[in-house]
Structure 1
């Protein structure tokens, strides 16, 4: 690899080489970015408004870094080889998200996704050119590994009860520290405490840990200095321990898969060392896993723990591992290298140990799952392993997500439903009433968002980079391979795990992946592309101009979005402290002016206008609020909160038929929302009863039929849920409520179908005869029976005994005609 000079002005580095000032600015900026980003839990994918600001700040920082990069790399933009053309190709990724805006299910989410994809493209371009410089590559790689180790330390500090100490260190630059504690660094769910560190989601943390576990092993075998070997070996036990503490079954399942694939890239001697270090780290972790797990559980379940005791175990096992690694690298590694040199020269020599590892991993899995060996693990970890099978809830639920995602793709096949579409649209397509704003597969979610066109472009981009990197890796010398293999490990590990989870929804993870892809391209088997060659001067101007304009637009757009977000927060605060309508309205107007598709701004303005209308009955409040909601729904056609506010607005005005239309027109979008159908059935009955009083038979039948259709939808849904596999949870409650039963029974009664009415009403009767709704159901039920010439004498006698006056009410109902 060459070490190009990117500019005339440069400063001396420690080894005498000179790096341009622009490159130092890029290096320092990327390091700051990598230190800041993981502690911004808000660097999620922008599906929640409170997570927005860190994304916009990240886009601003990424854009500024790109502007510096354009200055530093201007002379490199020639489009003379495949490497340069990947810098062009990466721009197709955000372009596909821009195209998806045309059919976006949510303009708000889709716009955020465009910004995020632009950030990824910028990071890729910076990485592609910056990491070609050996010294810059070394600094960035070291910084990435350091950030990984600090993240692991932060997680263990939280696990061992020192979360406030850890949070005090990072609290000054992250909003995720709440009341002195980093929010959800340790999850508490039905499985007990689960370590999540900075990610607030254990499964993504497991993917991150898996990547850096293999990075640490690789770094041990590559390091020439004993202290470098010791540092990386010292991290092994904390990493494996943290993987166990996440209780991530996916992490444990993918770990051996990634391990075996990575072995294929190594010489037999290195393969033996990798296997040896895995065994040492595994044994060292198992020896301390139970006491460390129990100490963490004690603390997070409200008991008193001893952090010093926990750290004694962790540091002791880590120190022993570090000493062993140094000894192995000093005495064993050279002998392995020499003794296996002949084997290395043989064809396919690097296949034997990976094949043997497959067998060994299979035996270990069988032992842990089928014998008492699992009892050497802490109880909750052993239970999680024991429950790994294809019929467990998490597997079945993920398969359901993927099938439902395929339904979305069928409706949005070419350019997709836009960024963040799954979160907006999944309720329309879901098979059962689960709640998941993520499809739990990066690839399926990507397909939903940008359709077949965007997905094909993305996969072609990724596969081309992998192909060229692997080809170059096989042809290069070992020292050249080692310079960029860390990036391959990180990218491959995260993408493989992302097949069954939403790791890439974390922008920090996405940044690592695209920086890693840039590193892989910097080292790939590069070839000239003469047939596409253009005049270098023109190329530089056009390409740089496009990047500069895009960066500037994104900077100003992100600033506006930050201002809009701050204005909403200010308006929300004024709602609790001020009674001045205009004072509260001013920042909300500002927010909507800065970003008209901001749902939080719309909902807060709606609350203010509804309060004004309710207090004054001034029609202008209603008109402005109505127009605001309708305008917002054009951009957010699946936003249930907006629809609910529109229904409330109609009801406050007394326009129940308009409220009904909103409920009916959007019922298919919320097929498993029990509350939505309960309101629809009730509204259908009320309007049908009103039409009955107005002697409008046509409208009566229309509304009553609509109510019965909604009721039948719920009945069919309840029956469908009975067909779910035994291991799969249905998700949210979904059943026929007493209100549904009463209104559906009344509808059938008033449609002169007493037998059908009685059948429905009977299902809603409970043992509590003193409850008001139950009494009403009983009255209509007994009246329906009278109409059919039958009775339920035991129930009748029991009810009349409680309420003697009910006899006349039942008789009157039975005599009514409609």
Structure 2
């Protein structure tokens, strides 16, 4: 009784209306509706895509300052909620600590800011959603913004709108991505929306809210199918099983019935929608570089037909669901007695499990082929654990654990996977994302940060579920926040959904709401005496101070990016001289000193100035810039290449080669580093062969050692499963062949030179490097008493000076004998 009284008292003290609270809720709603159209704030870890992230941060950190003033009123040291509000700050704190030794300083700083933003959303959820009305506003914001995203995707599908890569052509299919530009993440988002819409439809007591949610089910399912995402479909039955226990038996049956109605209605029209969308895409989408998109009218035959069949299927679904929702009270009465049975709790989940297994068997056996478009049927039939996407993800995860082994406690810092994966990778794939939120987090913040993250998430779910099932009177639509967060986090096990900062924000907001719903039940009685102590103002003060600092830091980065973009505009569009474009770039570097793109661009402009003037002071300035940048970004590929070119211009050949060797050690599957290094060893050996033959031999031997390493790695690639894609090409290149042929020739290994250079006969003789290789090929043939008149004539026709060069080589080979 005492506990109940305290709970009621606490409820009475929580105001149902507060101006600051509602300003915060309105701000959150603006974020939820506006920011998905900024590519869902994708953190691609590519520097030219950061501006939308900083714009979002400025908005969120300003909102956090507003909420900090609200916290002065409501934050007390009296509950688990107050502990969690402090504990969530451990996530940005661990990212900040990891940034001290990060392998990519700029991305580590960016990830620290992002986790400050996510922590802010968790606090927003816990305190702004503490009242019923505020929570309802956020529920509708979450659902309606999702419906708008689905509608926006359909506008792209039917050709009325063009958003780059909203239809992503890959693997021979146009895969729907909407605002995300990545179909798998869109599929994960659609699964979350589908589960929420189903729940909301069958629990709506008002006809208009029911109709809205029921109407959106077919568009969501059609969109999901047209993402061609197999992973989302595989996870869907698992997520349904996680959601069903939060409903009574009768509602569970309605839920499954509504899903079946949706799927059947969608499959009836899926082929027509798919065929129309393909034809529309071929009209609307740019076919070649430089083309512009050509959106079509909604009344054009293909678009109109697509919209009409979609609307018809949606209306049919609404009508059928109306019958099972509002006109089947007799069934609910029949199930009342059954609901009292102990085994009734698991009856529907067990039936779903059986149905799911049966459906998978039917999919694999091809029974559904006649109901689905061939492209979708083929993709679903290939669902197994031996397909390339599964095998590639397994490789990512194994390689990630290699990184974790070297950076176990605090990780490699934010952006650690992106910086390090090429040094640890098993084969030459390209993936700046680890395709798992939790694995990528483990790489970035190590076991300490990973355990903090997992512990927080599991504790939040534990407390919510415990209170939800213990307090039947408080059960309600807030469960959609559980559904959304668990769906997105589950899908994030196998993909990088949380790299979309918009989705990450919604997940952390949802987690905060789960605590807010039952915050009165989380009071700690023994802290009752200290809850109003003056120390309770410390936390709001810290949040206010942090929000100001974070706003300033984000604004500096925002201004730096704007200045950088302006310098590029002056250079490229207005073609201004260097003295007019450099101030804007210098401002960007002053605001963000360690940003790789800014410093690399300045070094590049100095290199261009050297080529125009011949003044080596520009090269020396560039060397200082690159050396400073390397202290913070040692794994930046473009930095190593710029360093190599700068040393070449300075004629410091040993340092140039050292840069290439560093590139080979850090990017072990990048054939370009091998190619350039072998060409350098061949050229430097050629230069030194008369003055320092010992050093020349060392260079040539090292070139052949790199060839041996390439061949060993090629054999390693042959061991990959047949279904797994190799990734980038990794083989001896034409340029490499001419350099290696030159090395073999100088070492009087003429047969090896011939074998290495012979494929160049099929190449373009207008290329000077190819002609150089052919010249050595013909000289090697001569050295073993052979010739090729046809190739000789083609060489001389390409460049008449080649005859004298060939004669010189032949004479040289005869002297070596």
TM-score higher than 0.5:
yes
Superposed CA offset, 1:314-333 (max 9, x none): 1111112112222222121x
CA–CA distance in structure 2, aligned partners of residues 326 and 45 of structure 1 = 42
C-alpha separation in 1, matches of 2:659 and 2:104:
19
Match of 1:571 among 567, 571, 577: 567
Tell me how far 1:648 sits from its aligned partner.
2.0
Q: Which runs of 5+ in 2 are unaligned?
A: 1-6, 285-299, 797-802
For the residue of structure 2 that corresponds to 1:440, the secondary structure is coil
For 1:402 and 1:725, locate their aligned partners in 2 and report how far apart those are by CA, in whole Å: 16
Show CA shifts across 1:554-585 (max 9, x none): 10111111110110011111113143322111
Match of 2:208 among 200, 209, 227: 227
Aligned partners of 1:472 and 1:523 also within 8 Å: no
- Quote the residue 1:686 is aligned against: 683
- How far apart are residue 495 of structure 1 and its match? 0.7
Residue matched to 1:330:
326
Quick check: 2:404–2:446 contact (8 Å CA) kept in 1? yes
Instruction: Give the secondary structure class of the aligned counterpart of 2:43.
Output: coil
Write the distance in 1 (CA, Å) between the matches of 2:176 and 2:378. 16
With over 3 angstroms needed to count, the CA separation of the structure-2 counterparts of 1:132 and 1:336, relative to structure 1, is farther
Q: 1:560 aligns with which of 556, 564, 568?
A: 556
Alignment of 1:530-569 (within 5 A): 536-569=532-565
- Between 768-777 and 428-437, report the one with greater CA deviation: 768-777
TM-superposed CA distance for 1:529, in Å, is 4.5
Name the residue aligned to 2:181.
200
Q: Deviations over 1:7-47 (max 9, x none)?
A: 99x9xxxxxxx511111101111111111111111611151
**SS of the residue aligned with 1:719?**
helix
Q: Does residue 1:519 correspond to 2:513, yes or no? A: yes
Which residue pairs with 2:368 in the alignment? 373
List per-residue Cα deviations over 1:607-650 (Å, max 9, x = no partner). Answer: 32222222222233222221112111221111111222222222
Matched with 1:718 is: 714
- Structure 2 counterparts to residues 289-304 of structure 1, below 5 A: 289-302=270-283
Matches within 5 A, 1:29-48: 29-41=27-39, 43-45=41-43, 47-48=45-46
State the partner residue of 2:383: 388
- Quick one: distance in 1 between partners of 2:484 and 2:302? 34
TM-score (structure 1 length as normaliser) = 0.91
Query: What's the TM-score, normalizing by structure 2?
Result: 0.91
Superposition map of 1:115-264 within 5 A: 115-163=113-161, 181-264=162-245
Query: Is 1:734 the counterpart of 2:727 in the alignment?
Result: no
Of 763-772 and 462-471, more deviation after overlay is shown by 763-772
SS, match of residue 235 in structure 1: helix
| Cα distance in structure 1, aligned partners of 2:791 and 2:115 | 66
Structure 2 counterpart of 1:447: 442
1:530-679 mapped onto 2 (5 Å cutoff)? 536-576=532-572, 577-679=574-676
Deviation at 1:145, TM superposition (A): 0.9
Which string of whole-angstrom CA distances, capped at 9 and with x for unpartnered residues, describes residues 353-389 of structure 1?
2112111111112112213422311122112112222
Distance 2:764 2:491 in 1: 55
Question: What is the number of equivalent residue pairs in this alignment?
Answer: 785
- Using the TM superposition, give the Cα deviation of residue 48 of structure 1 relative to its aligned residue in structure 2, in angstroms: 2.3
Shift of 1:509: 0.4
> What pairs up with 1:242-321 in 2 under 5 angstroms?
242-302=223-283, 306-321=302-317
Once the two structures are overlaid, the 10-residue window that deviates more, 393-402 or 804-813, is: 804-813
Does the residue aligned with 1:557 lie in a helix, a strand or coil? Answer: helix
Superposed displacement of residue 280, structure 1: 0.5
Deviation at 1:429, TM superposition (A): 1.5
The question of whether the paired residues in 2 share the 8 Å contact of 1:161 and 1:305 is answered with no
Match of 1:493 in 2: 487
Q: 1:243-270, CA deviations, whole angstroms, 9 ceiling, x for partnerless residues?
A: 0111111111111111122123322211
Where in structure 1 are there 5+ consecutive unaligned residues?
11-17, 164-180
Cα pair distance change 1:361/1:696, threshold 3 Å: same
Contact 1:187–1:201 (Cα < 8 Å) also in 2: yes
- TM superposition shift of 1:677: 0.8
After superposition, the Cα gap between the structure-2 partners of 1:159 and 1:744, relative to the gap in structure 1 and judged at 3 Å, is same
Give the match for residue 81 of structure 1: 79
**Separation in structure 2 between the aligned mates of residue 392 and residue 545 of structure 1, nearest angstrom:** 53
Instruction: Please report how far the alpha carbon of residue 52 of structure 1 lies from its aligned counterpart in structure 2 after TM superposition.
Output: 1.4
**Partner residue in 2 for 1:418:** 413
Distance 1:529 1:451 in 2: 32
Question: Aligned partners of 2:488 and 2:498: how far apart in 1?
Answer: 8
Pair 1:121–1:709, CA change in 2 (3 A): same
Change (3 A) 1:687 1:190: same
Q: 1:287 to 1:582 in 2, by over 3 A?
A: same
1:177 aligned residue: none
Find the aligned partners of 1:623 and 1:777 in 2 and give their Cα distance. Answer: 34
Which residue does the alignment assign to 1:166?
A: none
Query: How far 1:451 sits from its partner (Å)?
Result: 0.9
Rounded to whole Å, the distance in 1 between the matches of 2:677 and 2:566 is: 36
